[in-house]
Amino acid sequence: MADAVNMVHVSTRRHRQQQFRRRMENTVTSPATVTSRSPQRPSDVVMQTPSTPPDAVRAAVTAARAAGMQWSREPASRRAEALDAAADRLAAASDELTALVVREVGKPIGEARAEISRGVAILRYFAQQAYAPTGATHAPSTHGLLFSQRRPHGVAGLITPWNFPVAIPLWKAAPALAFGNAVVLKPSPAATATATHVMTILADALPERLCRLVPGDAETGAALAQAADCVSFTGSATVGKQVARAAVASGAPAQTEMGGQNASIVLPDADPLSAARHVATSAFSYAGQKCTATRRIIVVGNNNAFIDAFIAIVEELTLGDPADSSTMVGPVINEFAQGTVLHAAAHATRDGGRILTGGGAPYGEGWYVSPTVVDGLAPDHDLCREEVFGPICTLLRVPDEQAALRIANSVRYGLVTGIYTRDLDRALDLVDGIDTGLVKVNAATTGVDFYLPFGGTKDSSSGPREQGTAAQEFYTQLRTVTISPSSG
């Protein structure tokens, strides 16, 4: 209740002031430098470094392209060995890197450690992908040999967000390198120190100039999107669309992985406690700062058993210092994000929503927001349609599955949907009707298997899928080779 009262005081004016301060005070970045601060202790500046100007981005791409030419001619075994060596180095740096991820982006320590392990697994997996078939042979129309062959593009420009500062750069860089490209990474300003550490590990295991880091923000990213030979972006839908346009203008293939407004649909026959646990994890682990986080919980029928269990679990989530292993919900990334979530909660109550739990900012130095659940909004309210990247979700009550399906599909995003039921027929029926790129039955919407294709529909993604064997399609282009007998 105190939280709800606290929340009401966060006015639109304060939010605007925060927006203005963020621009003026270099909370995250200014055109000349990038600064990352620890979200749990904003006075702790983790890294400050000059932004890379556009000319220097183009120079980095040119240098990487030359190194990439050599690299693309190396045998697959050499590429596989180098990626394996990078995996060894990453594993050896796990403790140090875990601590840095916790400090720089406020990720709870258990999740941070798991992300480094995932990074190691990604490198090992793509080390083996270097041996994947690169084409197919065909019967020639006359005599000789006719085959298709996948070849690298040259320089892969990678533009990444801060929320998976190890895994996302690696799930782009590892396949790019495995298939013979050079990489230039433009990380989020808020994760510059982690990106620097990861790229140093990669660079140490690979030939000189093949892996480059260009710290910076929008200007640096825009320059990379124009200069690279293919562009892989992960971030918000607004920026993703700009990046895709820049890449198309320069003729480079692009893939963009963007936001979500993900629904978890709870059917009346679902196991209430198990569903409540999964949905609470989906909505609030890492303070809801995952593209796959559940933002809307669509409850079919009268299911107070689920709702009561869910709210009880959310109220027991430990909010606190991400370095403490008992913490499940740490801070949000910066003051602007904190203001955005609080403002969204205030806006929702003004429009008739009811805060079931949370809604406020606990006191203390860090950028914390209590896990917040809003009930009673119309499905077309902004909070149910647009992505608010933090610990806030809405509860929507519907009479039947058809209404659940219609509402789940009614947003511009299409990343992931969760379905909770014990009835396989109903699950299959809903899976058929859902229009998102991933569907999960009785499992959290968060969590991605790096060995399967990953991506969404509508405004959540564009271009070929990332990860798994699908990555080869994006990081290479096909050519056809015809060899006829010399005396034909």
Q: Which residues are catalytic?
A: 257, 291
Whole-number CA gyration radius for the chain: 23
CB 374 within 8 A of CB 361: no
For residues 320 and 456, which CB has a smaller minimum distance to ligand NAD in the complex? 456
Angstrom CA distances, 114 to 4, 199, 265, 398, stand at 34, 19, 27, 37
Q: Which residues contact 71 (CB under 8 A, 6 or more apart)?
A: 79, 177, 180, 181, 182, 206, 207, 210
Nearest one of 351, 370, 350, 352 to 360, comparing CA atoms: 370
For residues 258 and 392, which CB has a smaller minimum distance to ligand NAD in the complex? 258
Q: Which residues contact 42 (CB under 8 A, 6 or more apart)?
A: 27, 334, 335, 365, 366, 367
What are the residues binding ligand NAD (CB under 6 A)? 159-164, 186-189, 217-218, 221-222, 225, 234-236, 239, 242-243, 257-260, 291, 387, 389, 415
For residues 36 and 472, which CB has a smaller minimum distance to ligand NAD in the complex? 36
| Cα 26 → chain centroid | 24
The per-type count for the chain, helices as H runs and strands as E runs, is 17, 20
Using Cβ positions, the residue closest to ligand NAD within the complex turns out to be 221
DSSP 297-357: EEEESS-HHHHHHHHHHHHHSPBS-TTSTT-SB---SSHHHHHHHHHHHHHHHHTT-EEEE
For residues 245 and 354, which CB has a smaller minimum distance to ligand NAD in the complex? 245
Residue 235 C-beta: closest distance to ligand NAD, Å: 3
Residue 328 C-beta: closest distance to ligand NAD, Å: 19
For residues 59 and 76, which CB has a smaller minimum distance to ligand NAD in the complex? 59
Residue 233 C-beta: closest distance to ligand NAD, Å: 7
Residue 296 C-beta: closest distance to ligand NAD, Å: 15
The DSSP code for 461 is: E
Angstrom CA distances, 309 to 268, 304, 305, 432, stand at 14, 8, 6, 29
For residues 35 and 303, which CB has a smaller minimum distance to ligand NAD in the complex? 35
Residue 105 C-beta: closest distance to ligand NAD, Å: 10
| Cα 198 → chain centroid | 17
Residue 443 C-beta: closest distance to ligand NAD, Å: 18
